[in-house]
Amino acid sequence: MTAKTAVITGITGQDGAYLAAFLLKKGYRVVGIVRRSSHFGVATHRLDWLGITRQVELIDGDLLDLGGLCRTLREVKPDEIYNLAAQSFVKTSWQQPTLTGQVTGLGAVNILEATRLEVPDAHFYQASSSEMYGLIREPVQSETTPFYPRSPYAAAKLFAHWMTVNYRESYGMFACSGILFNHESPLRGLEFVTRKVTDAVAQIALGRADELRMGNMEAQRDWGHARDYVEAMWLMLQHGEADYYVVATGRTNSVRYMIDTAFAHAGLDPDKYIRVDPALLRPAEVDILLGNPEKARKTLGWQATTSLEDMIREMVDADLARYRALPR
Ligand code: NDP
Ligand code: GDR
Protein backbone atom coordinates (compact mmCIF):
# COMPACT_ATOMS: atom_id res chain seq x y z
CA MET A 1 0.00 0.00 0.00
CA THR A 2 1.36 3.45 -0.89
CA ALA A 3 1.75 5.97 1.90
CA LYS A 4 -1.14 8.36 2.48
CA THR A 5 -0.79 12.09 1.90
CA ALA A 6 -2.16 14.66 4.33
CA VAL A 7 -2.56 18.39 3.85
CA ILE A 8 -2.55 20.47 7.03
CA THR A 9 -3.61 24.11 7.17
CA GLY A 10 -2.17 25.80 10.25
CA ILE A 11 0.86 23.47 10.31
CA THR A 12 2.96 26.21 11.93
CA GLY A 13 0.60 26.40 14.93
CA GLN A 14 0.62 24.25 18.06
CA ASP A 15 -1.71 21.52 16.80
CA GLY A 16 -0.36 21.59 13.26
CA ALA A 17 3.15 20.84 14.52
CA TYR A 18 2.06 17.96 16.77
CA LEU A 19 -0.23 16.54 14.10
CA ALA A 20 2.55 16.68 11.50
CA ALA A 21 4.87 14.78 13.86
CA PHE A 22 2.13 12.22 14.55
CA LEU A 23 1.38 11.64 10.85
CA LEU A 24 5.07 11.43 9.88
CA LYS A 25 5.46 8.65 12.45
CA LYS A 26 2.59 6.83 10.75
CA GLY A 27 4.45 7.08 7.41
CA TYR A 28 2.38 9.86 5.83
CA ARG A 29 3.62 12.37 3.30
CA VAL A 30 2.80 15.63 5.11
CA VAL A 31 2.17 18.86 3.20
CA GLY A 32 1.58 22.07 5.12
CA ILE A 33 -0.02 25.25 3.84
CA VAL A 34 1.76 28.29 5.30
CA ARG A 35 1.19 32.00 5.01
CA ARG A 36 3.97 33.69 3.13
CA SER A 37 6.09 35.84 5.44
CA SER A 38 9.06 38.11 4.85
CA HIS A 39 10.61 36.55 7.99
CA PHE A 40 11.82 33.30 6.49
CA GLY A 41 12.32 30.59 9.09
CA VAL A 42 10.41 32.26 11.92
CA ALA A 43 7.14 30.47 11.20
CA THR A 44 8.76 27.05 11.50
CA HIS A 45 9.93 27.39 15.11
CA ARG A 46 7.47 24.75 16.38
CA LEU A 47 8.39 22.29 13.63
CA ASP A 48 12.05 23.03 14.43
CA TRP A 49 11.43 22.27 18.12
CA LEU A 50 9.99 18.88 17.17
CA GLY A 51 12.85 18.31 14.72
CA ILE A 52 10.58 17.72 11.71
CA THR A 53 10.96 20.84 9.54
CA ARG A 54 12.89 18.99 6.86
CA GLN A 55 10.46 16.09 6.78
CA VAL A 56 7.38 18.14 5.88
CA GLU A 57 6.66 19.92 2.60
CA LEU A 58 5.58 23.52 3.01
CA ILE A 59 3.55 25.30 0.33
CA ASP A 60 2.68 29.01 0.38
CA GLY A 61 -1.04 29.53 0.82
CA ASP A 62 -3.68 31.46 2.70
CA LEU A 63 -7.10 30.33 3.88
CA LEU A 64 -8.54 33.48 2.31
CA ASP A 65 -7.37 32.53 -1.19
CA LEU A 66 -9.73 29.94 -2.70
CA GLY A 67 -7.82 29.81 -6.00
CA GLY A 68 -4.53 29.00 -4.28
CA LEU A 69 -6.18 26.33 -2.11
CA CYS A 70 -7.70 24.70 -5.21
CA ARG A 71 -4.35 24.71 -6.99
CA THR A 72 -2.58 23.14 -4.02
CA LEU A 73 -5.16 20.38 -3.57
CA ARG A 74 -5.17 19.67 -7.33
CA GLU A 75 -1.38 19.25 -7.30
CA VAL A 76 -0.99 17.39 -4.01
CA LYS A 77 -4.10 15.16 -4.26
CA PRO A 78 -4.28 14.49 -0.50
CA ASP A 79 -6.12 11.58 1.06
CA GLU A 80 -6.76 13.61 4.20
CA ILE A 81 -7.14 17.35 4.86
CA TYR A 82 -6.90 18.85 8.33
CA ASN A 83 -8.17 22.44 8.58
CA LEU A 84 -6.42 23.79 11.66
CA ALA A 85 -5.72 27.33 10.46
CA ALA A 86 -7.59 30.11 12.23
CA GLN A 87 -7.34 33.42 14.03
CA SER A 88 -7.50 31.36 17.19
CA PHE A 89 -7.05 33.86 20.04
CA VAL A 90 -10.46 34.60 21.56
CA LYS A 91 -9.51 37.99 23.08
CA THR A 92 -8.20 39.32 19.76
CA SER A 93 -11.46 38.38 18.07
CA TRP A 94 -13.15 41.41 19.68
CA GLN A 95 -10.45 43.68 18.24
CA GLN A 96 -10.58 41.98 14.82
CA PRO A 97 -14.12 40.61 14.42
CA THR A 98 -14.18 40.93 10.65
CA LEU A 99 -10.79 39.31 10.11
CA THR A 100 -11.72 36.54 12.55
CA GLY A 101 -14.96 35.94 10.66
CA GLN A 102 -13.12 35.86 7.37
CA VAL A 103 -10.30 33.50 8.39
CA THR A 104 -11.91 31.34 11.08
CA GLY A 105 -15.36 31.21 9.47
CA LEU A 106 -15.22 31.83 5.71
CA GLY A 107 -11.69 30.40 5.48
CA ALA A 108 -13.13 27.03 6.47
CA VAL A 109 -15.66 27.31 3.67
CA ASN A 110 -12.84 28.07 1.22
CA ILE A 111 -11.01 24.86 2.10
CA LEU A 112 -14.27 22.85 2.13
CA GLU A 113 -15.12 24.24 -1.30
CA ALA A 114 -11.62 23.55 -2.64
CA THR A 115 -11.96 19.99 -1.33
CA ARG A 116 -15.35 19.56 -3.02
CA LEU A 117 -14.04 20.88 -6.33
CA GLU A 118 -10.64 19.17 -6.45
CA VAL A 119 -10.56 16.09 -4.17
CA PRO A 120 -14.16 15.31 -3.15
CA ASP A 121 -13.24 11.84 -1.84
CA ALA A 122 -10.60 13.16 0.58
CA HIS A 123 -11.38 12.84 4.28
CA PHE A 124 -11.76 16.30 5.83
CA TYR A 125 -11.25 17.44 9.43
CA GLN A 126 -12.49 20.78 10.79
CA ALA A 127 -11.08 22.16 14.05
CA SER A 128 -14.25 23.06 15.94
CA SER A 129 -14.11 24.39 19.46
CA SER A 130 -15.64 24.09 22.93
CA GLU A 131 -15.93 27.91 22.79
CA MET A 132 -19.06 27.24 20.71
CA TYR A 133 -20.78 26.19 23.99
CA GLY A 134 -19.95 29.62 25.47
CA LEU A 135 -22.69 30.50 27.92
CA ILE A 136 -23.21 26.86 28.70
CA ARG A 137 -26.69 25.33 28.37
CA GLU A 138 -25.77 22.13 30.26
CA PRO A 139 -23.26 21.64 33.10
CA VAL A 140 -21.41 18.94 31.12
CA GLN A 141 -21.16 19.54 27.38
CA SER A 142 -21.56 16.74 24.85
CA GLU A 143 -22.33 16.46 21.12
CA THR A 144 -26.02 17.12 21.84
CA THR A 145 -25.58 20.23 24.02
CA PRO A 146 -26.95 23.40 22.34
CA PHE A 147 -24.39 26.05 21.38
CA TYR A 148 -24.25 29.66 22.65
CA PRO A 149 -21.13 31.40 21.29
CA ARG A 150 -19.85 34.32 23.40
CA SER A 151 -17.19 35.90 21.16
CA PRO A 152 -16.65 36.74 17.50
CA TYR A 153 -14.22 33.79 17.47
CA ALA A 154 -16.84 31.37 18.77
CA ALA A 155 -19.48 32.65 16.35
CA ALA A 156 -17.06 32.18 13.43
CA LYS A 157 -16.19 28.64 14.62
CA LEU A 158 -19.88 27.79 14.89
CA PHE A 159 -20.43 28.91 11.29
CA ALA A 160 -17.49 26.77 10.15
CA HIS A 161 -18.79 23.85 12.20
CA TRP A 162 -22.24 23.93 10.60
CA MET A 163 -20.76 24.42 7.14
CA THR A 164 -18.77 21.23 7.70
CA VAL A 165 -21.99 19.40 8.59
CA ASN A 166 -23.64 21.03 5.57
CA TYR A 167 -20.95 19.88 3.12
CA ARG A 168 -21.29 16.35 4.48
CA GLU A 169 -25.07 16.34 4.15
CA SER A 170 -25.24 18.24 0.84
CA TYR A 171 -22.43 16.55 -1.09
CA GLY A 172 -21.86 13.29 0.79
CA MET A 173 -18.32 14.38 1.65
CA PHE A 174 -16.39 12.66 4.43
CA ALA A 175 -16.29 15.82 6.55
CA CYS A 176 -15.74 15.52 10.31
CA SER A 177 -15.29 18.01 13.06
CA GLY A 178 -13.73 17.68 16.47
CA ILE A 179 -15.20 19.86 19.19
CA LEU A 180 -11.93 20.12 21.04
CA PHE A 181 -11.74 21.55 24.53
CA ASN A 182 -8.64 23.58 25.51
CA HIS A 183 -5.41 21.75 24.91
CA GLU A 184 -1.95 23.00 25.67
CA SER A 185 1.72 22.03 25.46
CA PRO A 186 5.21 23.54 25.51
CA LEU A 187 4.37 24.68 21.95
CA ARG A 188 1.29 26.67 23.00
CA GLY A 189 1.30 30.33 21.88
CA LEU A 190 2.51 32.74 24.56
CA GLU A 191 -0.77 34.68 24.52
CA PHE A 192 -2.82 31.74 25.87
CA VAL A 193 -3.21 31.53 29.61
CA THR A 194 -1.33 28.30 30.42
CA ARG A 195 1.77 29.16 28.42
CA LYS A 196 1.67 32.78 29.59
CA VAL A 197 1.81 31.45 33.15
CA THR A 198 4.49 28.78 32.63
CA ASP A 199 6.66 31.24 30.71
CA ALA A 200 6.31 33.82 33.51
CA VAL A 201 7.09 31.21 36.18
CA ALA A 202 10.29 30.29 34.35
CA GLN A 203 11.28 33.95 34.00
CA ILE A 204 10.56 34.69 37.67
CA ALA A 205 12.45 31.60 38.81
CA LEU A 206 15.48 32.71 36.83
CA GLY A 207 15.31 36.35 37.97
CA ARG A 208 14.23 37.66 34.57
CA ALA A 209 10.79 38.97 35.70
CA ASP A 210 9.12 39.93 38.96
CA GLU A 211 5.39 40.06 38.23
CA LEU A 212 2.62 38.36 36.28
CA ARG A 213 -0.44 40.30 35.14
CA MET A 214 -3.61 38.22 34.94
CA GLY A 215 -7.24 38.59 33.89
CA ASN A 216 -10.13 36.47 35.23
CA MET A 217 -8.62 33.77 37.43
CA GLU A 218 -12.02 32.28 38.35
CA ALA A 219 -12.63 30.97 34.81
CA GLN A 220 -12.60 27.16 34.60
CA ARG A 221 -11.45 25.06 31.68
CA ASP A 222 -11.22 21.38 30.73
CA TRP A 223 -7.53 21.29 29.84
CA GLY A 224 -5.77 18.45 28.01
CA HIS A 225 -2.48 17.93 26.16
CA ALA A 226 -2.22 18.76 22.43
CA ARG A 227 -0.15 15.62 21.84
CA ASP A 228 -3.12 13.48 22.93
CA TYR A 229 -5.68 15.56 21.04
CA VAL A 230 -4.12 15.36 17.56
CA GLU A 231 -4.52 11.59 17.73
CA ALA A 232 -8.29 12.08 18.11
CA MET A 233 -8.30 14.17 14.90
CA TRP A 234 -6.62 11.35 13.01
CA LEU A 235 -8.89 8.66 14.49
CA MET A 236 -11.97 10.57 13.28
CA LEU A 237 -10.72 10.40 9.69
CA GLN A 238 -9.97 6.64 9.93
CA HIS A 239 -13.44 5.75 11.23
CA GLY A 240 -16.00 4.20 8.85
CA GLU A 241 -18.40 7.14 9.06
CA ALA A 242 -17.87 10.91 9.15
CA ASP A 243 -19.21 12.50 12.32
CA TYR A 244 -18.41 15.05 15.01
CA TYR A 245 -16.99 14.37 18.43
CA VAL A 246 -16.28 16.11 21.72
CA VAL A 247 -12.61 15.73 22.67
CA ALA A 248 -12.00 16.55 26.34
CA THR A 249 -10.65 15.14 29.60
CA GLY A 250 -13.91 15.26 31.59
CA ARG A 251 -12.27 17.35 34.33
CA THR A 252 -12.39 21.11 34.87
CA ASN A 253 -10.12 23.37 36.91
CA SER A 254 -9.82 27.08 37.53
CA VAL A 255 -7.16 29.35 36.08
CA ARG A 256 -6.18 29.99 39.70
CA TYR A 257 -5.55 26.26 40.31
CA MET A 258 -3.48 26.05 37.12
CA ILE A 259 -1.41 29.05 38.29
CA ASP A 260 -0.86 27.48 41.74
CA THR A 261 0.30 24.23 40.09
CA ALA A 262 2.81 26.06 37.89
CA PHE A 263 4.27 28.22 40.68
CA ALA A 264 4.46 25.27 43.09
CA HIS A 265 6.53 23.31 40.58
CA ALA A 266 9.16 26.07 40.68
CA GLY A 267 8.92 26.42 44.48
CA LEU A 268 7.41 29.94 44.20
CA ASP A 269 4.52 31.66 46.00
CA PRO A 270 2.15 33.06 43.32
CA ASP A 271 0.69 35.73 45.61
CA LYS A 272 4.03 37.53 45.64
CA TYR A 273 3.97 38.05 41.87
CA ILE A 274 0.39 38.15 40.56
CA ARG A 275 -1.35 41.44 39.76
CA VAL A 276 -4.89 41.52 38.40
CA ASP A 277 -5.08 43.72 35.33
CA PRO A 278 -8.61 44.77 34.28
CA ALA A 279 -7.34 45.29 30.71
CA LEU A 280 -7.04 41.50 30.46
CA LEU A 281 -10.72 40.89 31.20
CA ARG A 282 -12.93 40.04 28.20
CA PRO A 283 -16.10 41.85 27.09
CA ALA A 284 -17.98 38.55 27.58
CA GLU A 285 -16.47 35.61 29.42
CA VAL A 286 -16.92 31.87 29.10
CA ASP A 287 -16.98 31.06 32.82
CA ILE A 288 -16.73 27.29 32.79
CA LEU A 289 -16.33 24.45 30.31
CA LEU A 290 -16.45 20.73 31.03
CA GLY A 291 -16.61 18.18 28.23
CA ASN A 292 -18.00 14.66 28.11
CA PRO A 293 -15.65 12.62 25.86
CA GLU A 294 -17.74 9.44 26.07
CA LYS A 295 -18.61 9.26 22.35
CA ALA A 296 -14.95 9.58 21.31
CA ARG A 297 -14.00 6.92 23.86
CA LYS A 298 -16.68 4.46 22.78
CA THR A 299 -16.52 5.02 19.01
CA LEU A 300 -12.88 5.89 18.41
CA GLY A 301 -11.25 4.24 21.42
CA TRP A 302 -9.69 7.60 22.30
CA GLN A 303 -9.03 9.02 25.73
CA ALA A 304 -6.85 11.72 27.24
CA THR A 305 -3.72 10.37 28.89
CA THR A 306 -2.03 13.45 30.37
CA SER A 307 -3.20 15.14 33.57
CA LEU A 308 -3.30 18.93 33.87
CA GLU A 309 -0.66 18.76 36.61
CA ASP A 310 1.79 16.68 34.53
CA MET A 311 1.25 18.91 31.51
CA ILE A 312 1.84 22.15 33.44
CA ARG A 313 5.01 20.72 34.97
CA GLU A 314 6.22 19.68 31.50
CA MET A 315 5.51 23.22 30.24
CA VAL A 316 7.33 24.91 33.14
CA ASP A 317 10.34 22.63 32.62
CA ALA A 318 10.39 23.38 28.88
CA ASP A 319 10.24 27.14 29.51
CA LEU A 320 13.00 26.91 32.13
CA ALA A 321 15.17 25.02 29.62
CA ARG A 322 14.47 27.63 26.92
CA TYR A 323 15.53 30.55 29.15
CA ARG A 324 18.56 28.70 30.50
CA ALA A 325 19.74 28.23 26.90
CA LEU A 326 19.48 31.98 26.17
CA PRO A 327 22.27 34.48 26.79
CA ARG A 328 21.34 36.79 29.69
P1 NDP B 1 -2.54 28.34 16.67
O2 NDP B 1 -3.01 29.75 16.90
O3 NDP B 1 -1.34 27.86 17.38
O4 NDP B 1 -2.29 28.13 15.10
C5 NDP B 1 -3.10 28.73 14.13
C6 NDP B 1 -2.52 28.44 12.75
O7 NDP B 1 -3.34 29.06 11.76
C8 NDP B 1 -1.10 28.98 12.53
O9 NDP B 1 -0.37 28.02 11.79
C10 NDP B 1 -1.34 30.21 11.68
O11 NDP B 1 -0.25 30.57 10.85
C12 NDP B 1 -2.49 29.72 10.81
N13 NDP B 1 -3.23 30.78 10.13
C14 NDP B 1 -3.81 31.87 10.68
N15 NDP B 1 -4.40 32.61 9.72
C16 NDP B 1 -4.19 31.98 8.56
C17 NDP B 1 -4.55 32.25 7.21
N18 NDP B 1 -5.26 33.32 6.87
N19 NDP B 1 -4.18 31.37 6.24
C20 NDP B 1 -3.44 30.27 6.55
N21 NDP B 1 -3.06 29.97 7.81
C22 NDP B 1 -3.43 30.81 8.80
O23 NDP B 1 -3.80 27.39 16.98
P24 NDP B 1 -3.82 25.91 17.63
O25 NDP B 1 -2.79 25.09 16.99
O26 NDP B 1 -3.89 26.02 19.11
O27 NDP B 1 -5.27 25.43 17.19
C28 NDP B 1 -5.49 24.78 15.94
C29 NDP B 1 -6.93 24.96 15.54
O30 NDP B 1 -7.78 24.38 16.51
C31 NDP B 1 -7.40 26.41 15.41
O32 NDP B 1 -8.36 26.46 14.38
C33 NDP B 1 -8.06 26.68 16.75
O34 NDP B 1 -9.03 27.71 16.62
C35 NDP B 1 -8.70 25.33 17.03
N36 NDP B 1 -8.88 24.97 18.41
C37 NDP B 1 -7.83 25.03 19.27
C38 NDP B 1 -7.97 24.61 20.57
C39 NDP B 1 -6.83 24.68 21.53
O40 NDP B 1 -7.10 24.58 22.73
N41 NDP B 1 -5.60 24.80 21.09
C42 NDP B 1 -9.27 24.07 21.05
C43 NDP B 1 -10.30 24.03 20.03
C44 NDP B 1 -10.10 24.46 18.77
P45 NDP B 1 0.94 31.57 11.37
O46 NDP B 1 1.92 30.67 12.05
O47 NDP B 1 1.41 32.16 10.11
O48 NDP B 1 0.31 32.55 12.32
P1 GDR C 1 -9.56 30.29 25.54
O2 GDR C 1 -8.03 30.22 26.03
O3 GDR C 1 -10.07 31.67 25.47
O4 GDR C 1 -10.31 29.33 26.41
O5 GDR C 1 -9.44 29.75 24.04
P6 GDR C 1 -7.13 31.24 26.86
O7 GDR C 1 -5.99 30.42 27.35
O8 GDR C 1 -6.82 32.47 26.10
O9 GDR C 1 -8.07 31.66 28.09
C10 GDR C 1 -8.56 30.71 29.03
C11 GDR C 1 -9.22 31.43 30.20
O12 GDR C 1 -8.21 32.10 30.96
C13 GDR C 1 -8.70 33.40 31.31
N14 GDR C 1 -7.56 34.30 31.57
C15 GDR C 1 -6.62 34.66 30.68
N16 GDR C 1 -6.43 34.30 29.40
C17 GDR C 1 -5.36 34.82 28.74
N18 GDR C 1 -5.12 34.46 27.47
N19 GDR C 1 -4.49 35.70 29.35
C20 GDR C 1 -4.65 36.09 30.65
O21 GDR C 1 -3.87 36.87 31.17
C22 GDR C 1 -5.77 35.54 31.35
N23 GDR C 1 -6.22 35.69 32.62
C24 GDR C 1 -7.30 34.92 32.73
C25 GDR C 1 -9.51 33.81 30.08
O26 GDR C 1 -10.35 34.92 30.39
C27 GDR C 1 -10.23 32.50 29.78
O28 GDR C 1 -11.37 32.40 30.57
C29 GDR C 1 -8.57 28.68 23.71
C30 GDR C 1 -8.08 28.91 22.26
O31 GDR C 1 -7.09 27.96 21.97
C32 GDR C 1 -9.22 28.79 21.27
O33 GDR C 1 -8.71 28.85 19.93
C34 GDR C 1 -9.91 27.43 21.51
O35 GDR C 1 -10.99 27.28 20.61
C36 GDR C 1 -10.39 27.32 22.94
O37 GDR C 1 -9.26 27.45 23.80
C38 GDR C 1 -11.06 25.99 23.24
Ligand 1 centre to CA of 85 (Å) is 4
The CATH code of domain 5-183+223-247 reads 3.40.50.720
192 CA distance to ligand 2 middle (Å) = 5
Same fold flag, 5-183+223-247 and 187-221+252-285+306-324? no
The residue extents of the domains of the chain are 5-183+223-247, 187-221+252-285+306-324
Q: Residue 239: what pLDDT?
A: 98
Q: Is 196 in the pocket of ligand 2 (CB under 6 A)?
A: yes
Within the chain, which residues score under 70 in pLDDT?
A: 1, 328
Q: If you measure from the C-alpha of residue 10 to the centroid of ligand 1, how many angstroms do you get, rounded to a whole number?
A: 5
Measured from the Cα of 16, ligand 1's closest atom is 25
pTM for the whole structure: 0.98
- For the stretch 84-132, pLDDT in tens is 999 999 999 999 999 999 999 999 999 999 999 999 999 999 999 999 9
Q: What is the reported pLDDT for 120?
A: 98
What whole-number distance in Å separates Cα of residue 28 and Cα of residue 43? 22
Q: How far is the CA of 249 from the centre of ligand 1 (A)?
A: 21
Centre of ligand 2 from the C-alpha of residue 129, in Å: 12
Question: What is the distance between the alpha carbons of residues 171 and 120, in angstroms, rounded to a whole number?
Answer: 9
Question: Is residue 124 helix, strand or coil?
Answer: strand
Architecture of the CATH domain 187-221+252-285+306-324: Alpha-Beta Complex (3.90)
Ligand 1, CB cutoff 6 Å, lining residues: 9-10, 12-16, 35, 43, 62-64, 84-88, 103, 107, 127, 129, 180, 182-183, 189
Q: Is 222 in the pocket of ligand 2 (CB under 6 A)?
A: no
Say how far apart CA 186 and CA 171 lie, in whole Å: 39
Are the CB atoms for 55 and 31 separated by under 8 Å?
no
Give the tens place of pLDDT for each residue, 246-277.
Answer: 999 999 999 999 999 999 999 999 999 999 99
